[in-house]
Amino acid sequence: MKICFKGNLEGIEKGIDIMSEYLDFTIAPEGMEVHISQVEESILHVSLEQNVAHIQFQKKIHFFRGLGLLLENIRTKNQFTITETPQFDTNGVMLDCSRNGVMTTESIEKMVRHMALMGLNLIMLYTEDTYEVEGEPYFGYLRGRYTQEELRKCDEYAELFGIEMVPCIQTLAHLQTFLRWRVTAPIKESADILLVGEEKTYDFIKKIIKAASAPFKSNRIHIGMDEAFLLGRGKYLDLHGLRNRYDIMNEHLHEVMKITRELDLKPMIWSDMYFRISSKSGGYYDPNVEFSKDLIEAIPNDIQFVYWDYYHENEEHYKTFLNKHFQLNSNPVFAGGIWTWNGVTPHYKKTFATTNAALSACKSEGVKEVFATMWGDNGQETNVFSSLLGMQLYAEHGYSKKVDQERLKNRFKFCTGGNYDSFFDLGILDLPHNVDDIQQEFGQPDNPSKYLLWQDIMVGIFDKHVEGKNLSIFYSEAEELYQNHVELNPEWVELFKVNKALAAVLNIKSEIGNQLQTAYKEKNKKELEQIESEILPLLTNKVQELKELHRNQWMSTYKPFGWEVLDIRYGGVLSRIDTARYRLKEFLAGQLERLEELEEERLFVDPNISGSDRLGRMNLYNQIATVNPL
């Protein structure tokens, strides 16, 4: 289709040119007239009547959402009027680029285009040590760190659509991958925490803040400071003795903020440490937490707290904690979560339950800034683009008081080319229909797809959890389902091929440990021979296929650094299958009298699972693959 834009295109013309390459329109004088006008009121108005369209918008990002709404609806309607009121000043995403998956600049630009059509206007790249710092060769060494030029390029691209890029770094904890190097000894308190109170530490922090903020037009910066559980309990304790953690935390914050003020930056931090320090139980989500007057008065008045909560499904809970943040003299930012850290697949059931409750509360309590985190805990096994449906949910919350489900589905199809039901089904591998998936109010979902993939065949730590569950039937059905989704999502074939291959592996692997042990104890050599000669070779092929598809997916999204971790994990699975066959052959040939691995009774990893239909959860590879030190 041809479009002729009428009005002032200053600031949006380049963005329009880019969108014309990806959407089905060209810019031509003889095209349909689209009159555009920027207004002061926070409103988005899109209409079509008698083949003449209008887009009224306040912010640049609103225009690009409006353009998407126009192109989406013009396909099926001769005339329409759409009016939306933005619910938030800032609504966007935080992409984890520190858990091994460092997105390529091309992938970031692709994400930005989807965000623009959705109407999301904030993007953070969470980079613990994955950005270039002059004079610090070990900072991000062999981790795929971004160069200053790469980050500048991404920032300039995002700005074309009115999307603000904000650096998101760490200035206290979560620096384990950097602090592993011996050169960091003078500024290291413990495995992942900087040694506060030292001049060398603040020289280093100034260096990284300057480096992190330099490529970006925004003067905002997220400086982290979350989950510093052992603050003051390592080298600091040796130097200064036992001190109140709040005093240490506050002194450090004030020192870091001297740096941000000098650099004319507006900082924000995760809020949990102030809650943990003030709670008698030491918890972040303690409803009885109370802040002393001295604590409140000592907090810098130019810091912004980020309230992060990915767990609760009750709107009243979020209202309570938002108001506790207001008590800290802060205009808080809310950070929710798209559950991409559950294993190899996202968990959309949990994502929708928590997001709907949280964002409804934010709108009710007048919170004006929100963003969705997409963490990649324990190796970034889940591809970041599987989170697009969660991003669309955030976007639709951002332009309506209540989300309309049918509109959400249509918007998602237009903005991404993906099918709503297909993307939601990406998470079903952790939701077998024959087991209980009901969670506690503050619950984390079970993740059998992860532990069944990585656990051992001969010494399966989680065999007891899946005993008698007949999960192979479920995973066989899932394999067929994903084949249908492959056909429904031509733009996202890789996502569904990986899930299909994973289901094929789990179809065998979910049962094989218990099958082996049962056949061994029953002295059923015929079944053991079948497992060794037929089932395990088939499993080897299925794992190899999954690894190759997963690798292709990774290399299309991330830099190659970090994939070696998943290569090692897949290699471990394949090697242990080979050893299982070796052990079975020796036993069946009479060279071994017994297989000790199969004689030991299997126990529940979590005794609370015993007697329930729950499958249990474990998200750490080293506690899945073996009980021995890894």
Which of 204-208, 274-278, 396-400, 537-541 shows the lowest per-residue confidence on average (mean pLDDT)? 274-278
Other beta carbons within 10 angstroms of residue 571's beta carbon come to 13
Mode of pairing for the β-strands spanning 44-49 and 52-57:
antiparallel
Whether residue 418 contacts residue 389, with contact meaning beta carbons closer than 8 Å, is answered with yes
3-class DSSP state of 485: helix
Q: What does DSSP assign to residue 558?
A: B
pLDDT of 391 > 90? The answer is yes
| pLDDT in the model for residue 333 | 98
| pLDDT in the model for residue 436 | 56
The dihedral over CA atoms of 193, 198, 203, 207, expressed in degrees to the nearest 10, equals 10
What is the pLDDT averaged over residues 593-597?
A: 97
| pLDDT in the model for residue 613 | 80
Burial label for 26, CB within 10 Å (0-12, 13-18, 19+), is exposed
Q: Sign (positive/negative) of CA torsion 307, 312, 313, 319?
A: negative
3-class DSSP state of 310: coil
Query: pTM for the full model?
Result: 0.97
What is the pLDDT averaged over residues 207-211?
A: 98
Q: Which residues contact 163 (CB under 8 A, 6 or more apart)?
A: 61, 92, 112, 115, 116, 120, 121, 122, 123
| pLDDT in the model for residue 441 | 45
Return the structure tokens found at 526.
């015929």
Burial label for 484, CB within 10 Å (0-12, 13-18, 19+), is middle
Confidence of residue 63 (pLDDT cuts 50, 70, 90): very high
What's the CA gap between 372 and 115, in Å, rounded? 12
What share of the chain in percent tops pLDDT 90? 94
